[in-house]
Chain A
Amino acid sequence: MLDNIPILTLLTFSPLLGIIAVLLIPKEMGHWLKTAAIVSTLVSLVLAGWMFIGLDHDLEGMQYEEKATWIEIALNQEAPNLNAAEKLIYQFNYSLGADGLSGALAFLTALISSMAAFASVHIKKRWKTFYLWFLILQIGMFGVFLSRDLFLFFLFFEATLIPMFFLIGIWGFSDREKAANKFLIYNGIGSAIMLIAFLMLINTAGFSTPQEDPTQPLQLIYSGDVGTIYQNLQDPGSYANVHHDRVGTANPFYMGLAMKEWIFLMLLIAFGIKLPIFPFHTWMLKVHIEAPPSVVMIHSGILLKMGAYGLLRFGVELLPEQAQTFALLIGIVGVVNILYGAVLALVQKEFRLILAYSSISHMGIVLLGIAALNVTGLQGAAFQLVSHGLISALLFLIVGSIIERTNTTELNRLGGLAKAMPFMSGMLLVGGLASLGLPGMSGFVSEFLAFLGLFETMPVLAIVGALGIIITAVYVLRGVLAITYGQLPEKFQEDGTVLRDARLTEAIPMIVLTAFIVLLGIYPSVLSEPLHHALSSMLARIGG
């Protein structure tokens, strides 16, 4: 049924509908602008759901592949003594594809985006520009998860940078400009390092000489096509793997072991900044505090996942041997992330900072799952991506509603909200319990799988890392209980009308997110089945 429809292109550019609608609506009509944006994200959600359900779980490799050559640039036409048979070309492909992993994350993107669109009703000014950037950001995120070409991936990756800069810098809290700057510089450096690694990959393994028609002159093609690069790296006879000595002359496409290790390391740093791994995390704390809550939902729920996705897709899948070399490093960094995030979350006085540090801690679990380099571990990592996306979106959704009513999330200025807002406090507790990994919810499944995987390969690290789970329980409960129980602060006691419980537009996204969290907790095979082939094929080359 889906074969004839370019579903992935439709999905990726579905936010254009909303962009056109928002452009047409005058800027004073805030209500209409919001409605248009929400409807547009719902359309994307339907498409994403359709795509995700349509995935064939028994097939290996990419599905729904779409490929078109966008730009071809000849690199040697100026050459003296040009041999007509040889045309060296750099090819930019527009190529999309989805497997269980990218499909799941694209669906997550659609889900969280539409929930964030609901949550954006709290935005107070310049709605039109806000929704424009919001929807452009959504295009970028879909593209990142679905593109199958390094260059295209880079374009979409950069395309998320500029909207986020504006979303933080214009609609954030008091220190927003600094946060936006910090976001821009850190992520800019990350994508710069990524670009260098990509260029090295393209220049060596991205080389191919397809000859469909023998009468035509031979074409030598460079491209960022992930499939080509994968084939070249895998095939021991390809140019990328043949040493200079065996060719006789210098082989410009040869990729030595050192070069592979450099590339992997650069990818690790580039995506590590996004993830974020421990020394590169300061920018995301700032964003968590300063960005408007609905933007943080996207930032924490999806953008951080782009780092982990990139590491899996380009690091582990393309260079599994090097992943093995660096597995211990990844594991140690993961443990540091878990413990550092958890311990610092323990002492924060600001609820949003607790959540920010908890994100660092939870991303550590993703790293542990990757470090395990077996299917169980990777399942755990991928599960954690989706589950943490849902949970942090839920928590920041509630944070947004609380800020709208009380203007603060500092623990000592809040308390006793359970009485005034029973529904929202309950939801906060649910989110907290999911975050600390209560069985029956998605957080439990992912942590369990990740640690189970790691126990097989690095038991010591797994034991140390598991300590983090205990601390998690403490800081989550400390934060949630300080907000919901205890004495209601005086200024709210006099004026009870401020603290009204969730409206319908706030309740719907909370319920939807909770439903997905519970669904993944009690019936994990909705996700694990589509993931299975995507992840096991990553490890096929190292016998994992």
Chain B
Amino acid sequence: MQMMQLAFADLRYLGPELTLVIAAILLSLLDLVVPRRFNRSWLGGLTLLSLAVSAVFVVIAMRMYNGADAEAIQLLAQSYRVDDFGNLLKLFILTGTFLTVLMSFGTVKDEDIPHQGEYYYLFLPAALGAMVMVSSGDLITLFVGLELLSITSYIMVGLKKNDQKSNESAFKYVVLGGISTAFILYGMSFLYGVTGTTNMAAMNAELRFIDPSMSGLVYMSFFLMLAGFAFKIASAPFHAWAPDVYQGAHTPVTAFLAVVSKGAALALLFRILYNVYFNVGDSDTPIHDDLFLIIAIIAAASMILGNAMALKQHNMKRLLAYSGIANAGYLLVPLAAEFGPMHYSNFTELYYYLAAYLFMNIGAFAALIAVSRSAGHEEMSAFDGLYYRNPALAAGMVILVLSLAGLPITGGFFGKFYILLGTVAVAKYWLAAIMIITSVISFYYYFGIIRQMFMRSHAPSERLHAGWAQQLTVWICAGATILMGIFPKPIIGYIEQIFHLTVDFFI
């Protein structure tokens, strides 16, 4: 029987989270105390440092408490879990946040964002919320994490106080985000009503033996929650907010929303889908099958809509928003391809593509910051003639774009291919076909960027000086993308070695 109270010794398991909490408090105090005349970018440095420390704690947890055969550690009456599922995703969240903060250096100007310090340390509670989300074993914990992430990101979107666009997008995000949260909460209340518990493992056990007359309520709970989560991961048909919000927000914040926020919500959906609803229903009311079909349909709709709408975009942030919607579709495919005798690698597929998506998307946003600063706008034409103006940056961007388009030999290609293998293993050929065909449609707009860089000229064609932070981010991301394309084996092998569905996932 697990203890309700948190023993002092259990704190060691919470190292990653505690680091972020302490750092967030300390940094906000420092920001108050230190006089305004000092430049605030050292706060960014400290943010990076605390994210790195937190990541070290995650690695320690992976090596010491979890790992190949160890049981998951459950705290606070099984409401908080430290397991390999959570640890891997925490690494994803921390890496994503780290790179986002890194690319912010040099972009936070007093005239845009009056409170520079706030800009940096707000990333910490956001990352913390995402980390709580991925390691919760109980709906309440989960919701707390979700709200922490959401509320912080509402603030982050609106940080450009004097910019009308930013205000508009922050307002839209708050209102729509609030509604989606309400949906999630409403759906959860149905689940609680049916099962009488908020613990996910207990819920699944209850649901498996549920009276068929209650199945309508079970469907209801799932659809309501799905509406909320689909909003958070910006998948069709709840995607309409993404382009507007992305366009208005400060670009690194956009990258954070597009990568970390989306990834955390996907992980959450994965957990709820497989933990709560897996194998629920019988041959008369096939709840389980219906739900997986719905996920597959949503994935297909996102891929089609996202890629089709992106064709018309000229604004880079809107284009990347629609590309993000399409990618949400690709990422939902491993969720929809359920376990079968020939297929157990859903999580690895999801995680691998998520990691590839992290690097290629954040890299693309960093390159966008670099070129839009000199162009003064964020249209696609900001990239024109980049090959002549800064060949190194252009080469990095080509790698990232090819990866986004899913062409070999890049992480994006391999990630998609890995997902496809799983999809055909469960004989969902139609989903695989939609995924492949829509990827080809995406060539059109991704190669539009390449066309701008290589086939258009820019007058005057003087050299473009990109900030060191952006250049570094682009290169880290491009390098990781290539490595993930050529040597996928070490990462996949490592995940497979430590992650086991029974130990780390099913409760």
Contacts and interface: CB of A to CB of B under 8 A. Distances in A.
Interface stretch (B167-175, B209-217, B286-294, B336-344): B336-344
B418 A73 contact: yes
B500 interface: yes
Contacts of A74: 345, 492-493, 496
A80 B506 contact: yes
B447 A181 contact: yes
A189 B344 contact: no
Interface in A167-193: 169-170, 176-177, 180-181, 184-185, 188-189, 191-193
Given A169-B451, A192-B439, A75 B421 contact: yes
Interface string A153-171: 0010011011001100110
Nearest to A176: B455
Contacts of A75: 342-345, 421-422, 425
Overall SS of chain A's interface: helix
B488 A73 contact: yes
Interface string A190-210: 011101100110110000000
A29 interface: no
Contacts of A185: 440, 443-444
Interface of B: 339-345, 347-348, 402, 407-409, 418, 420-422, 424-425, 427, 429, 432-433, 436-437, 439-440, 443-444, 447, 450-451, 454-455, 488-489, 492-493, 496-497, 499-502, 506
12 contacts: A74-B492, A75-B342, A75-B422, A76-B344, A88-B342, A170-B454, A176-B455, A189-B437, A189-B440, A191-B440, A192-B436, A252-B427
A72 interface: yes
B499 A170 contact: no
Contacts of B433: 196
Given A73-B418, A73-B488, A184 B447 contact: yes
B22 to A, nearest CB: 34
A54 to B, nearest CB: 31
B110 to A, nearest CB: 42
Interface string A57-91: 00000000000000111111111111000001010
A184 B344 contact: no
Interface hub of A78, A80, A158, A176 (most chain B Cβ within 10 A):
A78
Contacts of A159: 408
A73 B488 CA distance: 9
B88 to A, nearest CB: 12
Contacts of B418: 73
Contact of B407 (A162, A169, A176): A162
Nearest to A165: B447
Interface in A126-162: 155, 158-159, 161-162
Contact of B425 (A170, A193, A203): A203
Nearest to B420: A199
A152 to B, nearest CB: 10
B487 to A, nearest CB: 8
A199 B492 contact: no
A402 B407 CA distance: 37
A142 to B, nearest CB: 16
Given A71-B489, A189-B437, A192-B436, A155 B409 contact: yes
A78 B342 contact: no
Contacts of B501: 78-80
A222 B343 CA distance: 12
A77 B339 CA distance: 12
B223 to A, nearest CB: 28
A81 B402 CA distance: 39
A153 B236 CA distance: 34
Given A78-B500, A80-B502, A192-B440, A170 B455 contact: yes
B289 to A, nearest CB: 16
A155 B408 contact: yes
Contacts of A78: 344-345, 347-348, 496, 499-501
Nearest to B433: A196
Contact of B429 (A79, A188, A196): A196
Interface hub of A161, A191, A195, A222 (most chain B Cβ within 10 A):
A195
Contacts of B506: 80
A203 B424 CA distance: 7
Contacts of A176: 455
Contacts of A77: 344-345, 496-497, 500
Contacts of B347: 78
B136 to A, nearest CB: 21
A88 B489 CA distance: 15
B408 A158 contact: yes
Contacts of A181: 444, 447, 451
Contacts of A169: 451, 454-455
A256 to B, nearest CB: 12
Contacts of B409: 155
A158 B407 contact: yes
Contact of A79 (B344, B422, B450): B344
Closest 6 CB pairs of A and B: A77-B496, A188-B440, A79-B344, A80-B502, A192-B436, A76-B344
Given A75-B345, A166-B454, A192-B437, A200 B429 contact: yes
Contacts of B342: 75-76, 88, 252
Contacts of B492: 73-74
Contacts of B340: 252
A162 B497 CA distance: 36
A248 to B, nearest CB: 14
B390 to A, nearest CB: 16
B408 A72 contact: no
A196 B496 CA distance: 26
A184 B451 contact: no
Nearest to B423: A199
Contact of A196 (B421, B422, B436, B497): B436
A45 to B, nearest CB: 27
A449 B223 CA distance: 64
B424 A200 contact: yes
Nearest to A250: B341
B440 A90 contact: no
Contacts of A195: 420, 436
Nearest to A195: B436
Interface hub of A72, A191, A199 (most chain B Cβ within 10 A):
A199
A138 to B, nearest CB: 17
Contact of A72 (B345, B443, B444, B489): B489
Nearest to B430: A196
Contacts of A177: 451, 455
A170 to B, nearest CB: 6
Given A75-B425, A80-B501, 18 more contacts: A74-B493, A75-B342, A75-B422, A76-B345, A77-B496, A79-B339, A88-B342, A90-B421, A166-B454, A177-B451, A177-B455, A180-B451, A181-B447, A191-B440, A192-B439, A199-B432, A200-B424, A202-B424
Nearest to A222: B421
Contacts of B497: 77
A177 B452 CA distance: 11
B455 A199 contact: no
Contacts of B344: 75-79
A257 B421 CA distance: 22
A177 B451 CA distance: 8
Contacts of A166: 454
A165 B453 CA distance: 14
Nearest to B343: A75
A134 to B, nearest CB: 15
B402 to A, nearest CB: 7
B185 to A, nearest CB: 31
Nearest to A157: B408
Contacts of A81: 502
A185 B451 CA distance: 14
Contacts of A72: 489
Given A73-B492, A75-B343, A188 B443 contact: yes
Contacts of A158: 407-408
A196 B407 contact: no
Given A74-B496, A185-B443, A199 B421 contact: yes
